Chain A
């Protein structure tokens, strides 16, 4: 674990630093791919920036509204620049909503945007997982494999590195496949491949989220996502669909 990177007297928190790098590198790759697909790369950077700003404001606003009674005595504390007091999932929803509005107003095809975004997202996930490994915000299962890493006295699976490797492999597969029969194909493929990686690797976490009496939540979500993506593929590839509605898809 290396939760902070020391540069002289400055201690930078590793995981947030890697998230920042992941964001910019991911946007860059998505923009490059978007240009190849005929979308102006600036649309990717713009959507990414609006999404980020909306996401941060949304995440803070959601947290403060959820805990409003604690902010009544001193409402200015809601404006704290600290990384605390964020509701990440809700922030991501707000960000997604703002990106959708941006794409619609600028008449960018959602399917093509998602296809370009899939490359950037995969690369960003690889970098973010390396940061999560160094930051040590979650532990792998205890193990005796030779490549186990020692974290405060116990040997554990470096599961974030497994996920990073899986993301790199997925990225290579996506980059090698130039076949893109309809907008949204690459993104659907990403969902299927990434879904399988999460389905396989979740067992290496020391503390996966569980539902019921021991089912791993991420595996169930991943399987549903894979099935949905396969159903989209089935629908798009079915010869009857192609015959009846040609180009408009």
Chain B
């Protein structure tokens, strides 16, 4: 398709082939888009940021939200709350004795717990409502687990974290904010890689 150089002299150029049309469209888009971005900021963005610069959101088991709190009793009979550990990164690992992949990843968590004992908390949360409580101490001894194991008899934490598959691992940073939710087995190299992301420099 060749355009006759003289065509423009006889026929007016269609509006969409003129520069002024496109300049107008681009200017209009920039102005309206810019206004909308500023409106959105006042609608959404400004409400999310508190005066001290922190993000304000409701607790939810989703990355970026504050981690839902819970209170459970450990196998040693000690009552623990998630909020007790604020200031340190926390990894929650939901597991059960009948869960094969949980068994395969447990030694990896044990090694990570030992190697990072001074800077990290790992909590194993047993899905007790689906598990045989008598099998748990034997299982822990066999695997040589020393990090705290909490018993979730009434699905308090399981429901708060919407756990539907095992193992599920929740990475929580030192500010108490959920960093990542992962369903499926993990290895130590990955756990170690995540730990460095869980510490803020504030």
Contact = CB atoms under 8 A, between A and B. Distances in A.
Interface string A206-246: 11101001111001100100110011011001111011001
Nearest to A67: B193
Given A230-B25, A243-B5, A210 B33 contact: no
B25 A77 contact: no
Contact of A214 (B2, B16, B41): B41
B136 interface: no
Nearest to B159: A152
B165 A13 contact: yes
Interface in A59-75: 63-64, 66-67, 70-71, 73-74
Chain A interface residue bracket vs B: 35 or more
Given A13-B165, A234-B22, A238-B19, A70 B193 contact: yes
A208 B17 contact: no
Contact of B37 (A85, A220, A247): A220
B188 A223 contact: no
B44 A208 contact: yes
Given A216-B41, A243-B5, A3 B193 contact: no
A84 B183 contact: no
B62 A137 contact: yes
Contacts of A246: 1-3
B65 A206 contact: yes
A205 B33 CA distance: 18
A201 to B, nearest CB: 10
Interface string A123-144: 0000000000000111101100
A154 interface: yes
B22 A216 contact: no
B202 interface: no
A179 B183 CA distance: 46
B104 to A, nearest CB: 11
A1 interface: yes
A151 B18 CA distance: 51
A248 interface: no
Interface in B148-192: 159-160, 162, 164-165, 181-190, 192
Interface string B13-27: 100111100110110
A226 B48 CA distance: 26
B182 A84 contact: yes
Interface of A: 1, 3-4, 11, 13, 63-64, 66-67, 70-71, 73-74, 77-78, 80, 82-85, 136-139, 141-142, 151-152, 154, 199-200, 202-203, 205-208, 210, 213-216, 219-220, 223, 226-227, 230-231, 233-234, 237-240, 242-243, 246-247
Interface of B: 1-3, 5, 8, 13, 16-19, 22-23, 25-26, 29-30, 33-34, 36-37, 40-46, 48-49, 55, 57-58, 60-65, 159-160, 162, 164-165, 181-190, 192-193, 196
18 contacts: A1-B162, A13-B184, A67-B196, A74-B188, A82-B186, A82-B187, A139-B60, A200-B36, A202-B44, A206-B60, A214-B44, A216-B41, A223-B33, A230-B29, A231-B22, A233-B22, A237-B22, A239-B8
